Amino acid sequence: MILDILYATQTGNAEEVAQNLNALAKSQGFITTINEMNFHNMSSFRVLKNVAIVTSTYGEGEVPEMGIEFWNELKATNIKMPKLSYGLIALGDKSHEIFCGAGKMIAKKLEELNCNKIIESLECDGDTRGTKEWSIKFLENLKSKNKDD
């Protein structure tokens, strides 16, 4: 099964979480790609089947620089993507006014595009606690979804 991991980070936390998910997925036999979010445009993104998104938030509730072009394209599209299954981890800090703003905006847009959310999004406050447990559950859900297909 193929899993495509997209991340956007400013200081490395989201990348580390994405790399850990990548290693776990590979150890379970997934074929993976892992890229900065801006690696994808809508033509490449819309054809993906199984996607994990890991993003932190910068500025005032904004997507980190390495995800901004992707986010701008995603925001502008109306193409429905019901065949795209995804899970999302948002890193942030509650000391900021717009907690996990980037993750929340992306998650909302993916729902509007009828993407298939296979696990509740995880929002981390000031650390990356819970990401390992989330990753285990996410991969389990992906496997059972694909069994049902």
Beta carbon of residue 91, minimum distance to ligand FMN (angstroms, whole number): 4
H-helix segments, 79-126:
101-112
Residue (81 or 90) nearer to ligand FMN, CB: 90
Beta carbon of residue 131, minimum distance to ligand FMN (angstroms, whole number): 11
What are the residues binding ligand FMN (CB under 6 A)? 9-14, 56-61, 64, 91-93, 96, 98-101
H/E stretch holding 33 reads strand 31-36
Q: Which of 37, 38, 39, 33 is nearest to 21 (CA)?
A: 33
Find how far residue 114's CA is from the centre of its chain: 15
Residue (65 or 73) nearer to ligand FMN, CB: 65
Q: Which of 127, 86, 136 is nearest to 108 (CA)?
A: 86
Beta carbon of residue 18, minimum distance to ligand FMN (angstroms, whole number): 9
Residue (81 or 105) nearer to ligand FMN, CB: 105
